[in-house]
Amino acid sequence: MHNILDELKERDLLKQYTNEEKIKNAQNEGAGIYCGFDPTADSLHVGHLIQIINLKRFKDFGFAPIAIIGGGTGMIGDPSFKSEERNLLTLEQVEKNIQGIKKQLDFLIPDISVVNNNDWLGKMSLIDFLRDIGKDFNLAYLLAKENISSRIEKGLSITEFSYTMLQGYDFFRLYEDKNCWVQIGGSDQWGNITSGTDYIASKVGRENSKACGITMNLLTKKDGVKFGKTESGAIWLDKTKTSEYEFYQFFFNQDDEDCDKLFKFLTTLSVEEIKSINEEHSKAPFKRIMQRRLAQEITKFVHGETGLEKAEKITEALFSGNIIDLKKEELLSIVNSMQKIKVENNKEILEFLIDSKIASSKREARELLNDNAITINNINNFKEGTLIDENMFTVDNFIIVKKGKKKYIVIEITQE
């Protein structure tokens, strides 16, 4: 088995690392490796997937994975390249978020150790902080860090300025308590990670320290936009916020040009297998082989076999046009994944088609009806004068209309 650095390089993941020999030693010794998650919501989203998959990747190479949830630092905020400070959360909000994130991490990476830095930071007084941590950080050293210097002119509070010191102390606590020698993070975390390795060195002696750090390239799409940002908002890992079907479709709808990188960054498939999938896809791009396999791999990782089966069942139902047999929960997944057009109840079908922008005129609406090109609940032989009312609702107060063979439109029926 080759070492973890070779694996990261092969996948174009590796950005920076502090000391190659220490990283190899940590792998040989099965040392702990950690990354942090801020409890800003009660669920993680696809933007977090890269670090979750990396923890699993390191586990497969013999490391002991640790996730630290910032119950303490999360109440302060991270200055790394943010244009402004975060809204501060209450202790109750943070605790609720921590429980949600912990449950997800325990499911995604069995045997992971999940810790909360509030367990030690919450017990620390200001005097303790200044005496035990602050004196080990030189002001010039901190001001030289890009994640701090880039914010100085725009405004950086003492609260956020302290973050890198607190994160350095987190690394020290894990180093001492959990045999954790490695911290990983995105490339924007380099300053915080090196604060940790330097702080540990100041405590145990530079020649004795086994602490090291690795940063990964940020996952961006071909247009340079950070992956995971969508017009409709975050794609959550919690199925009650983003259904398994919506999650699957998010990856199924990725561009060809982004798929190779997504495979390397977000799956544990070997580079050889990824290359084979690419070659098969290139023979018939219209079959979307890469996208389907990508969606399958990541949906199965996040939602398990049952979640993938549910997503593929809905996808197949939409493709075949037979959605009427789907369960209510599955129909609502379709509704939630699409833009909705509001139309008043009790409309005659020609007016309904025009108001919903399915047809641009009565002439076009009549042509669609004559061609049996409008399908609602498996019925496509509608006549002029048909009333669209609650008897035609597909689920709740929504009607899912199929126009032609493939196009689906979700109509939200409102009361007059």
How do residues 270-327 score in pLDDT, each as one tens digit?
A: 999 999 999 999 999 999 999 999 999 999 999 999 999 999 999 998 888 888 889 9
Determine how many CB atoms are found less than 10 A away from the CB of residue 262.
23
Are 244-335 and 338-414 the same fold in CATH?
A: no
How do residues 14-70 score in pLDDT, each as one tens digit?
A: 999 999 999 999 999 999 999 999 898 999 999 999 999 999 999 999 999 999 998
Q: Which of 15, 45, 178, 203 is catalytic?
A: 45
Question: Residue 81: its pLDDT value, please?
Answer: 45
CA torsion, ordered 77, 82, 84, 85, to nearest 10 deg: 0
Between helix 91-108 and helix 49-60 the angle, nearest 10°, is 50
Active site residue 2: no
What whole-number distance in Å separates Cα of residue 149 and Cα of residue 155? 10
Report, in this order, helix, strand and coil percent for the chain, each rounded to 5: 50, 15, 35
**Is 229 labelled a binding residue?**
yes
Angle CA 375–380–382, to nearest 5: 115
Angle CA 183–186–192, to nearest 5: 55
Residue 185, beta-bridge partner list = 215
DSSP output for 95-110? HHHHHHHHHHHHHHST
Question: Residue 106: its pLDDT value, please?
Answer: 96
The ranges assigned to domains in the chain are 4-216, 244-335, 338-414
Phi-psi region for residue 407, left (φ > 0), alpha (ψ -120 to 50) or beta?
A: beta
CA end-to-end span of the chain: 67
Active site residue 48: yes
What whole-number distance in Å separates Cα of residue 74 and Cα of residue 79? 11
Active site residue 230: yes
Q: Which of 229, 241, 264, 366 is catalytic?
A: 229
Active site residue 188: yes
How do residues 253-262 score in pLDDT, each as one tens digit?
A: 999 999 999 9
Active site residue 306: no
Q: Which of 22, 27, 42, 48 is catalytic?
A: 48
Specify the fold of 244-335.
Tyrosyl-Transfer RNA Synthetase (1.10.240)
**Is 248 labelled a binding residue?**
no
Class of domain 338-414: alpha beta
Active site residue 106: no
- Superfamily, domain 4-216: HUPs (3.40.50.620)
